[in-house]
């Protein structure tokens, strides 16, 4: 850029090898790698062009030169060629890895993948624009940024490659004077330039902003450039004299300083004019100096001299050395007035601060070719803190764009639904707003979530229901074996914010209960087979004969007491045919009168006919009942909905007779044992509280079976009742006991 602020056309690089930074002992080897990468890609891309019309090889040469200028590694420069070679190879990762190693192959593949994702996203967004090329939807733009962020999380060198490539694309349009797609210029100004700013790469930021603004608002750009040109000769002469005066004064004090004019960036000037409603004459950095000195102490000594010889404007002073910017930028900024009252901006910094200000992360990132334990080609130990810092700048950049989009959409809650945190290995994990370390653990891996027992956030132990924030580093402490806690499902305790994590916890407990139920059913079936002397029978065959798809399906319903073992017994040992012929039953009971048995059941037959209430369904008035004539044991009384009774009736319908309940009132009224199944959260005193309900209703409890599985109590009470109607009322009272989830008659 010229001193007047105009942008020169970019240099057109010849196909010759672009300049590289060779500062290590193996400089020749690195230069050979770069030359080899260019030679490898040249036959594939030399005659190809990008969507912009630019020759791909020329584009790659220019990108490599930009990377070299900002301190990018030779690997990054080599990748600028290999990225564009990938689409022309059948198995690009294998081919490149064989020729250049796995790290460089991975870098090229990830960058190529990001280019592809961005192209698809840009096409989708273009379809949402109106015929007048209205700006991109803020929501779509932010979603695109988030996709980019996740792609960057694997290898941050991809950021550099994409920034350099976009800058070269803008330079190409400026040099060829071709019409620039508004979407591309807008994306460069609103997405890529803020990214360069967050990473502190001002050299790219300023040029990208000026070029994008030049394409988006050419008239305004020309107006400011014209104002900068006016009185340029007079202004430049004054600044040369001022630089010499300041440099001589500092030399007299023993300070070796480099004093130079600071470039004027047109977009920065316009933004100040619009943001502060200033006229061009009131913009302070039209006349600006930058002073670079050896040490921090020298910075403050220079500041003291400037304030002594000029009139400082106190509200325009910023000490970014004592309080650096979030992206690590450090410098002293002050604005003073000369004898004529004209403003002069002065920036004072050390050489290392200047390098960071110009190149940002590129100046501090050690791009070493790591071994197997390295992270994406970067040394796994020495660069960890830098890696975390850069990742956090990426997260802050994403939040900046989200905030801007919120303001445009006037919807404060539109983009507040996600956060991004880091693993100890510096990978980015996307979570819902309000997520906790347990949500984080389940997102990383389901098994890690189940075994999670503690967490560190930024190195400090925190409770598991702590809400996480953007950019934090989370480390999970897990046991070797174990499962989640039921407390995690309690919404009031705030352990889980992710529906996905909650579903995984529920699935774990459901699987546990199912496993216990199946185990209980298996045990019951195996005991029955042992009693019947059929232990050699395959359980899968038995289940199939009973109509189940698998043995586990049979065990499940048996374990839930939803299927009677009597069905299995009848299948394996069918009742023998009746000794009496059909005519015997017809004659025996034809014309007989109903008589009451001692059990209170009216049957058709003779006096004192033996009856028994079946133990499989335990009927009680006023249940609908039926009778089945057994061999030598009289009439067995069943509930008509009893599965065993239905099975017997289907096989031997001639032995089914009509029965009904007799009068069951008075002091001699019969009592009937029935089973009541109760499911409840296990707690101290639960059995006592349920028993008290039965005692209060004057029901005699003659048997209790209990089992507790992971906090859930399964109870079976055998109680004596006069009729089932009274039992239904009592079950309502049992359901009201604290912790009871279900109570039903079996």
Same domain for 563 and 588: no
Domain end among 337, 359, 381: 359
Same domain for 354 and 304: yes
Residue 522 within a domain: yes
Q: In what order do the strands lie in the sheet with 700-709?
A: 700-709, 712-721, 672-681, 740-745
Q: Look at the alpha carbons of 294, 300, 305, 309 in this order and tell me if their dihedral is positive or negative.
A: positive
Q: Please list the helix, strand and coil fractions of the chain in percent, rounded to the nearest 5, in that order.
A: 50, 15, 35
Distance, in Å, from the CA atom of 244 to the CA atom of 289, rounded to the nearest integer, reads: 11
Beta-carbon neighbour count of residue 539 at 10 Å? 16
Residue in 284, 283, 301 with CA at minimum distance from that of residue 336? 284
Residue 143 within a domain: no
Query: What's the per-residue H, E or C state across 617-667?
Result: CCCCCCCCEEEEECCCCCEEEEECCCHHHHHHHHHCHHHEECEEECCCCCC
Beta-carbon contacts of residue 550 (< 8 Å; ≥ 6 apart): 540, 543
Residue 633 within a domain: yes
Complete DSSP assignment for 240-300: HHHHHHHHHHHHHTT---EEEEPPPPHHHHHHHHHHTT--GGG-GGGSEEEEEESSHHHHH
Beta-carbon contacts of residue 424 (< 8 Å; ≥ 6 apart): 473, 474, 475
* Measured CA angle at 614 (ends 608, 616), to 5 deg: 180
Distance, in Å, from the CA atom of 418 to the CA atom of 422, rounded to the nearest integer, reads: 14
Predicted local confidence at residue 411, as pLDDT? 39
Same domain for 301 and 244: yes
Distance, in Å, from the CA atom of 419 to the CA atom of 435, rounded to the nearest integer, reads: 8
Predicted local confidence at residue 744, as pLDDT? 87
Same domain for 676 and 636: no
CATH of the domain at 731: 3.30.70.260
Domain end among 551, 572, 593: 572
Residue in 403, 287, 336 with CA at minimum distance from that of residue 5? 287
For residue 311, the cross-strand partners are 337
The pLDDT tens digits for 74-102 are 888 898 999 999 888 888 889 999 988 88
pTM greater than 0.75 = no
Residue 698 within a domain: yes
Predicted local confidence at residue 22, as pLDDT? 38
Distances 72 to 78, 257, 413 between C-alpha atoms, Å: 10, 27, 39
Quote the distance between the C-alpha of residue 112 and its chain's center: 24
- DSSP letter assigned to residue 284: G
Quote the distance between the C-alpha of residue 225 and its chain's center: 47
Predicted local confidence at residue 130, as pLDDT? 44
Distance, in Å, from the CA atom of 53 to the CA atom of 344, rounded to the nearest integer, reads: 43
Distance, in Å, from the CA atom of 311 to the CA atom of 336, rounded to the nearest integer, reads: 5
CATH of the domain at 351: 3.30.460.10
The pLDDT tens digits for 359-417 are 665 544 433 333 333 323 333 333 445 555 556 666 566 556 555 544 444 433 334 56
Residue 63 within a domain: no
Beta-carbon contacts of residue 464 (< 8 Å; ≥ 6 apart): 436, 437, 438, 452, 454, 455, 495
Both tokens assigned to 456:
């560190």
Residue in 529, 534, 525 with CA at minimum distance from that of residue 558? 525
Beta-carbon contacts of residue 409 (< 8 Å; ≥ 6 apart): 138, 139
Give yes or no for a contact between 54 and 62, defined as CB atoms under 8 angstroms apart.
Answer: no
Find out whether the peptide bond into 436 is cis, omega within 30 degrees of 0. Answer: no
Domain residue limits at 434:
417-479
Same domain for 313 and 242: yes
Give yes or no for a contact between 302 and 250, defined as CB atoms under 8 angstroms apart.
Answer: yes
Same domain for 264 and 343: yes
Both tokens assigned to 409:
């959409």
Residue 266 within a domain: yes
Residue 542 backbone phi and psi in degrees, to 5: -60, -45
Distance, in Å, from the CA atom of 705 to the CA atom of 712, rounded to the nearest integer, reads: 14
CATH of the domain at 456: 3.10.20.30
Longest Cα–Cα distance of the chain, Å, equals 138
Distance, in Å, from the CA atom of 236 to the CA atom of 594, rounded to the nearest integer, reads: 127
Distance, in Å, from the CA atom of 78 to the CA atom of 539, rounded to the nearest integer, reads: 65
Residue 36 within a domain: no
Same domain for 687 and 651: no
With a cut of 50, which residues of the chain have pLDDT below it?
1-25, 129-136, 138, 142, 363-384, 405-415, 578-596, 606
Distance, in Å, from the CA atom of 70 to the CA atom of 55, rounded to the nearest integer, reads: 23
Same domain for 724 and 634: no
Predicted local confidence at residue 56, as pLDDT? 92
Same domain for 532 and 429: no
Quote the distance between the C-alpha of residue 382 and its chain's center: 28
Alpha helices in 410-546 (DSSP H): 437-444, 446-451, 499-531, 539-545
Residue in 567, 568, 429, 553 with CA at minimum distance from that of residue 500? 429
Residue 103 within a domain: no
Domain end among 613, 629, 661: 661
Predicted local confidence at residue 300, as pLDDT? 93
Number of domains in the chain: 5
Give yes or no for a contact between 484 and 507, defined as CB atoms under 8 angstroms apart.
Answer: no
Give yes or no for a contact between 376 and 157, defined as CB atoms under 8 angstroms apart.
Answer: yes
Same domain for 355 and 263: yes
- Report helix, strand or coil for 496: coil
Give yes or no for a contact between 261 and 38, defined as CB atoms under 8 angstroms apart.
Answer: no
Same domain for 594 and 654: yes
Q: How many CA atoms lie within 13 A of 265 on its CB side?
A: 17
Distance, in Å, from the CA atom of 65 to the CA atom of 50, rounded to the nearest integer, reads: 18
Complete DSSP assignment for 459-486: TEEE-TTPPP-TT-BEEEEE-SS----G
Predicted local confidence at residue 435, as pLDDT? 92
Same domain for 651 and 690: no
């Amino acid at each position: 850029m010229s001193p007047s602020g105009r942008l020169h056309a970019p240099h057109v690089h010849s196909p010759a090898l672009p300049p590289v930074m060779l500062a290590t002992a193996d400089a020749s080897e690195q230069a050979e790698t770069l030359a080899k990468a260019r030679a490898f890609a040249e036959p594939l891309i030399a005659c190809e062009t990008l969507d912009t019309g630019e020759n791909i090889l020329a584009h790659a040469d220019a990108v490599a030169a930009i990377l070299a200028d900002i301190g990018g590694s030779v690997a990054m420069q080599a990748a600028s060629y290999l990225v564009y070679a990938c689409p022309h190879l059948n198995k690009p990762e294998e081919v490149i890895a064989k020729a250049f190693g796995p790290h460089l192959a991975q870098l090229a593949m990830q960058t190529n993948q990001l280019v592809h994702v961005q192209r698809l996203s840009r096409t989708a967004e273009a379809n949402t624009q109106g015929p007048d090329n209205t700006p991109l939807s803020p929501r779509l733009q932010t979603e695109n940024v988030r996709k980019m962020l996740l792609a960057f999380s694997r290898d941050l060198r991809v950021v550099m490659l994409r920034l350099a490539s976009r800058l070269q694309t803008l330079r190409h349009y400026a040099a060829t004077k071709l019409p620039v797609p508004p979407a591309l210029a807008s994306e460069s100004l609103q997405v890529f330039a803020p990214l360069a700013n967050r990473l502190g790469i001002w050299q790219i930021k300023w040029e990208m902003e000026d070029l994008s603004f030049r394409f988006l608002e050419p008239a305004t750009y020309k107006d400011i450039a014209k104002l900068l040109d006016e009185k340029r000769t007079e202004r430049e002469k004054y600044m040369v004299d001022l630089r010499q005066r300041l440099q001589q004064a500092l030399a007299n004090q023993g300070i070796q300083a480099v004093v130079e004019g600071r470039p004027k960036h047109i977009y920065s000037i316009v933004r100040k004019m619009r943001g502060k409603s200033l006229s061009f004459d009131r913009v302070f950095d039209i006349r600006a100096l930058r002073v670079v000195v050896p040490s921090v102490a020298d910075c403050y000594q220079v500041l003291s001299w400037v304030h002594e010889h000029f009139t400082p404007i106190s509200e325009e002073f910023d000490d970014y050395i004592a309080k650096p910017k979030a992206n690590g930028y450090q410098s002293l900024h002050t604005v003073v007035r000369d004898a004529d009252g004209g403003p002069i901006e002065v920036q004072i910094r050390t050489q290392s601060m200047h390098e960071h200000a110009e190149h940002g992360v590129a100046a501090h990132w050690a791009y070493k070719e790591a071994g197997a334990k390295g992270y994406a080609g970067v040394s796994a130990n020495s660069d960890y803190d830098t890696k975390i810092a850069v990742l956090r700048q990426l997260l802050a950049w994403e939040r900046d764009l989200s905030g801007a989009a919120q303001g445009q959409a006037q919807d404060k809650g539109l983009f507040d639904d996600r956060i991004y945190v880091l693993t100890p290995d510096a990978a980015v994990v996307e979570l819902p707003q309000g997520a906790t370390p347990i949500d984080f653990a389940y997102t990383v891996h389901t098994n890690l979530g189940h075994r999670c027992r503690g967490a560190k956030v930024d190195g400090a132990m925190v409770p598991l229901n702590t809400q996480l924030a953007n950019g934090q580093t989370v480390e999970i402490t897990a046991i070797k074996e174990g499962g989640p806690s039921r407390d995690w499902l309690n919404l009031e305790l705030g352990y889980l914010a992710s529906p996905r994590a909650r579903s995984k916890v529920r699935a774990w407990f459901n699987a546990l209960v199912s496993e216990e139920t199946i185990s209980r059913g298996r045990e019951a079936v195996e005991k029955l087979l042992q009693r019947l002397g059929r232990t050699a029978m395959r359980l899968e065959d038995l289940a199939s004969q009973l109509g189940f798809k698998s043995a586990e399906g049979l065990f499940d319903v048996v374990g839930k007491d939803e299927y009677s073992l009597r069905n299995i017994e009848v299948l394996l040992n069918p009742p023998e045919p009746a000794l009496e012929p059909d005519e015997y039953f017809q004659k025996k009971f034809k014309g007989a009168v109903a008589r009451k048995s001692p059990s209170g059941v009216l049957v058709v037959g003779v006096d004192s006919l033996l009856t028994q209430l079946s133990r499989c369904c335990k009927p009680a008035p006023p249940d609908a009942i039926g009778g089945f004539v057994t061999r030598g044991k009289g009439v067995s009384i069943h509930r008509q909905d009893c599965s065993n009774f239905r099975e017997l009736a289907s096989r031997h319908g001639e032995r089914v007779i009509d029965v009904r309940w007799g009068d069951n009132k008075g002091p001699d009224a019969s009592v009937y044992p029935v089973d009541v199944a109760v499911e409840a959260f296990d707690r101290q005193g639960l059995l006592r509280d349920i028993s008290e309900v039965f005692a209060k209703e004057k029901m005699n409890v003659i048997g209790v079976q209990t089992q507790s599985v992971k906090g859930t109590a399964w109870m079976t009470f055998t109680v004596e009742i006069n009729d089932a109607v009274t039992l239904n009322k009592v079950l309502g009272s049992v359901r009201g006991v604290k912790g009871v989830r279900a109570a039903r008659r079996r």
